[in-house]
Amino acid sequence: MTHRTTGLLVLLMMSSGCAVRFSQRSPWDIQRLQALSDQLEQFKTLAHLKAEEVERLRQGKALLDERLSSEIDADEVSVGFDERGLVVRVLDRVLFDSGKAQVRQEAGPMLGQVARIMTGELADQPLSVEGHTDNVPITRSSWKDNWELSLARARAVLTTLVNDYGVQPNRVSAAGYGEYRPIASNETETGRQQNRRVEIVVLPTRAGEAVSGTERMPVGETVSSTPSGYAK
């Protein structure tokens, strides 16, 4: 047997062994790995911020987790970190009737809880409200396309936060991304439900400084990178 053949056999055995060991991991091990991954994503988000801001965002997340616990348990809302900052992700069915962009009255208490934290513990942070849809074309409403609907919904949530719950208008912007930033596959109904969402993003203060005053970008023209990780 040649040295090359021997090397290939050793490599195959090592690869096979790794696969066996991985497949034998318990669900608890997999949960631990996911928790570590979430912690790493949170660390990457907070690493470049000042200590006071890091603590403020962590406290804000803890409060959001507590006050939105029923919505989180129902898989209607999630709170986590990605490279943009602290993200409150709300499924569209919580906020809107199908094809509509008027905030449902029933969504008021949940948005009120969010606003109280945004005007209290997180009052110094800029905010971005971002609308998203699935990729199903609009055929039964007056909206031109999903992009227009997503922006209208983002603006509706922004307006509610400002007019009804006292969030300062000079620290909030809105954007609509249509179907172009999915977080799940649009091939299944479950995935499409996850993609139809509004995200309220608590940004680092440096992000607010970049577009403050007369330099703030018009509604719907906010530009940012596609989120690559989300840690709850």
Beta strands in the chain (DSSP E): 77-82, 85-91, 127-132, 172-176, 197-202
Beta strands in 74-155 (DSSP E): 77-82, 85-91, 127-132
**pLDDT value of residue 221:** 34
Supply the range of the domain harboring residue 42. 28-215
Sheet of strand 197-202: strand arrangement: 77-82, 85-91, 197-202, 127-132, 172-176
Rounded-to-5 percentages of helix, strand, coil across the chain: 50, 15, 35
**pLDDT value of residue 32:** 55
Taking CB atoms within 8 Å and a gap of at least 24, the contacts of 158-161 are 158/129, 158/219, 160/103, 160/108, 160/111, 161/111, 161/114, 161/115, 161/118, 161/127, 161/129, 161/200
Is the pLDDT at 28 greater than 60? The verdict is: no
**pLDDT value of residue 61:** 96
Q: Which position has the token pair 């898989």?
A: 75
111 pLDDT band (50/70/90 cuts)? Answer: very high
Determine, yes or no, domain membership for 224. no
Is the pLDDT at 224 greater than 60? The verdict is: no
**pLDDT value of residue 231:** 72
Determine, yes or no, domain membership for 2. no
**pLDDT value of residue 207:** 66
- What residue type is assigned to position 206 of the chain? R
- The enclosing domain of 123 has a CATH number of 3.30.1330.60
23 pLDDT band (50/70/90 cuts)? Answer: very low
223 pLDDT band (50/70/90 cuts)? Answer: very low
* SS3 assignment, position 202: strand
Determine, yes or no, domain membership for 128. yes
List the Cα angle 51/56/60 in 5-degree steps.
150
Percent of the chain with pLDDT over 90: 61
**pLDDT value of residue 34:** 58
Mean pLDDT along residues 91-105: 96
Q: How far apart are CA 146 and CA 143, in angstroms?
A: 7
**pLDDT value of residue 20:** 38
**Domains identified in the chain, total number:** 1
Mean pLDDT along residues 49-58: 86
**pLDDT value of residue 30:** 52
**pLDDT value of residue 141:** 82
Alpha carbon of 197 to those of 94, 101, 183, 200, 209: distances in Å? 9, 12, 10, 10, 27
Q: Are 172 and 162 in contact (CB under 8 A)?
A: yes
pLDDT tens per residue, range 159-213: 999 999 999 999 999 999 999 999 999 999 999 999 999 999 999 987 655 444 4
**pLDDT value of residue 219:** 35
Q: Are 125 and 201 in contact (CB under 8 A)?
A: no
More confident residue, 94 or 23: 94
Determine, yes or no, domain membership for 13. no
Is the pLDDT at 227 greater than 70? The verdict is: no
pLDDT tens per residue, range 134-155: 999 998 888 999 999 999 999 9
